[in-house]
Amino acid sequence: MSIQPKVDQTQPSVARVYDYMLGGKDNYAVDREVGDFFFKDLPGSVSIVYSNRQALVRAVDEMARSGIDQFLDMGSGLPTADNVHQVAQRVNPEARVVYVDNDPIVLAHGRALLATLDTTAVIQADLVEPESIHHNAEVERLIDFSRPVGVIFSAILHHLNDDEKPADLVRYWADLAQPGSPFYISHFRTGRNPETKAAEDKLQATFGRGRWRTDEEIAGLFGDLDLVAPGVVPAALWHQESQSDVTRIGSNVQELTVWEELIGAALARKP
C-alpha cells in the first residue's frame, strides 16, 4: 500500500500556485486565492508563467541537441505539458532526468506520471540542502557526475533570500559538474516599476521569502561559469528563433509587455 504524502491545504505552495496559473488542477483554494490576485489585480501577469515555461522548453531542447543526456531539475514544480524529460527524450529517448522539489504533492503526482519510466525520477528534497540531493539514491542511480549534466534552476532561485546564498547553491553543483555542463537559470527581474513592486510584495507577504534581482545579480548567480550569448535577457526573448510570437531585441514587430520583462533567463556552461 502506498503512503499518501501529507499536504497542508491551509498554506499556499509555490508549485501549486504555478500549476493553477498554468491551467492545472493540482491545487487548492488557498493556492487559487494567490493565483487569482495575479489574474484579477495584475491582469496580464500570467504571461510571466508562460514566458518562463516556453523558455525552459527551448533550453532543454538546446541542451539535449548539444549532446546532454542527463538533467537535474531543481524546484521542478508539478508536472505539466512539455516536462523536462519529455522535451529531452524527444531528442534522445535514453535521456535521464531527476526532478527535485520540496512539495509532497509534487512527489505524489510526479511518481504517478513517471511510474513506467526507468530513466526518470522525482525526489522530495530541499534545494538549500544540496548534499541530501547529491547523495539521494535516485540521483546516484540516474546521474553520472563523471559526465556533463544539465542543471536547471527554472523560476526557483528568486524564492531564496540573499542570506540563503543562492549563488553558493549553484556553485555546489558547478563544482561537481564536468566541463561542458550547462546551467540554466530563469529568475524574476527587477523592473523598478509599480508592477514589479506589487508582484514582489504579494509573494513576500504570501511565502515570507524571495527577492527580485537585477540582470547583473542574476548573472552573478552563475559565478565562474561561462555565460552563453545573449546573457541574461527577458525569457520571452531568450533564444527565441521565431519572430511570429514575440519580437527579438531591436525589432519593431512587437514590443514585450511589462510582465514579459519581469522574468529573465540565461544559460551558462562550465569551462
pTM (2 decimals)?
A: 0.86
Task: Record the cell numbers describing residue 88, joined without a space.
Answer: 529531452
**Least confident piece of the model among 40-54, 91-105, 160-174, 257-271:** 40-54
For residue range 139-170, list pLDDT tens digits in order: 999 999 999 999 999 999 999 999 999 999 99
- Picking from 217, 210, 216, 208, the residue whose alpha carbon sits closest to that of residue 196 is 210
> What does DSSP say about strands 182-188 and 263-269: parallel, antiparallel, or unpaired?
antiparallel
List the domains of the chain with CATH numbers. Answer: 14-269 (3.40.50.150)
Q: What is the mean pLDDT of residues 125-148?
A: 97
pLDDT confidence of residue 16: 83
Task: Please tell me what DSSP assigns to residue 247.
Answer: P
Say whether pLDDT at 253 is over 50: no
Say whether pLDDT at 243 is over 70: no
